Amino acid sequence: MGSKVVKRAYRYRFYPTPSQAAQLARTFGCVRYVYNRALAERHRAWFQEQRRVTHAETDKMLTEWKRDPETLWLAEPSKGPLQATLRHLQTAYVNFWEKRAGYPSFKKKGRTLDSATYFRNCFSYRGGQVRLAKQDQPLNVVWSRPLPEGAVPSQVTVSRNSRGQYHLSFLIEETITTLPAVSGRVGIDAGITSLVTLSTGEKVTNPRHERADRIRLARAQRELSRRAKGSANRAKARLKVARVHGRVRDRRRDHLHKLSTRIIRENQTVAIEDLSVRTMVRNHALARAISDASWSELRRMVEYKAGWYGRELIAIDRFYPSSKTCSACGSIVEKLPLDVREWACHACGAVHDRDINAAKNILAAGLAASACGDGVRPPRS
């Protein structure tokens, strides 16, 4: 076993006092304003002057905005969150230029998560108490788990979700001990009826969290649609909808964390398909079920946990015909409609469960790719 230093976030719920909530609301508003104005300036400079605005230039703009009589209120919150949002905008542009994400979009009040990031010189953490800049009292944090002993947070992100809940996220550097090597190797086939099917023959049932609360969600959305826009009752109805969505999201995340941790603990090598979920959800008949399964989130969790704990993760090319290939003899059937869940190989006569056969092929292809150091693509024929 070895160890490695990783950056890890620890998230906690906290309950602000009325004065702290008011001060945080002003901070969230200033952060959103600075981000949107800087984005507008960069957008204008490029499309009108074909000139790229650098992060340093937006930092100078922020200083000018604070001195402008019309926006003097930008000097009220701590400078840290305002500078942090400019860094986040720069990161969004870099991701866009390197084709990892789409073009940065504007933040709209009530539609995006309210958040503010405080760097080390804008908060203090001593004796289990957290104090933010421009606030007199420490935050009332619910320590659901302790921070690692001796941890020194490099930054703190305060957020408020659509349910009105406040969370505090600490970013720390932590030494993680890799797990002992095991002999297990597994291929994973993602599905809808079964969330994942393993090459061992095990099928993990899809909890379908969204479908379980679909009636409650529909009732809350109908109530929201009847309320007058801008009214207090509409705000209450919107909160009810947000609570249902939040309940679904929390249960789904909890299930995926448990499943991904179990997969990583039990297996040394994990092979998965590199699915294009964005393309698959264009099928309107399956879009809701695919989104509820959250394959992308499961892939993300398995990927970073494999890196943490010294496991090997292999992504198989999305065009590899894992379902149509016989895991016994390697022959490929020409057509295999989605409603066919079991099929017999025309070459060797082996009878296959569609999902288990696909998982076995994914594992075999992953091991071959790992051995030769190349990706896996279907034969051109």
Active site residues: 189, 273, 355
Asked if 143 and 129 count as a contact pair (C-beta separation under 8 A), the reply is no
User: 305 vs 6, 35, 146, 157, 370, CA distance in Å?
Assistant: 11, 32, 20, 22, 19
Q: Which of these, 202, 204, 187, lies nearest to 316 by C-alpha position?
A: 187
Q: Which residues pair with 124 in a beta bridge?
A: 131
Radius of gyration of the chain (CA): 25
| Half-sphere exposure at residue 65, Cβ-oriented, CA atoms within 13 angstroms | 22
Token pair 């906290």 is at which residue?
14
Give the number of other Cβ atoms within 10 Å of residue 16's Cβ: 19
Q: Please, what is the angle between helix 55-67 and helix 79-97, to 10°? A: 150
Tokens found for residue 11: 């998230």
- End-to-end C-alpha distance for the chain, whole angstroms: 45
Q: Please, what is the angle between helix 18-49 and helix 79-97, to 10°? A: 40
Q: Which residues pair with 186 in a beta bridge?
A: 270
Q: Which residues contact residue 156 at a Cβ distance below 8 angstroms, ignoring those fewer than 6 apart?
A: 117, 118, 123, 125, 130, 132, 168, 169, 170, 171
Q: Which residues contact residue 258 at a Cβ distance below 8 angstroms, ignoring those fewer than 6 apart?
A: none
| Half-sphere exposure at residue 180, Cβ-oriented, CA atoms within 13 angstroms | 2
The DSSP-derived string for 90-143 is HHHHHHHHTTSS-------TTTS-EEEEEEGGGEEEETTEEEETT-SS---EE-
Q: Please, what is the angle between helix 55-67 and helix 18-49, to 10°? A: 120
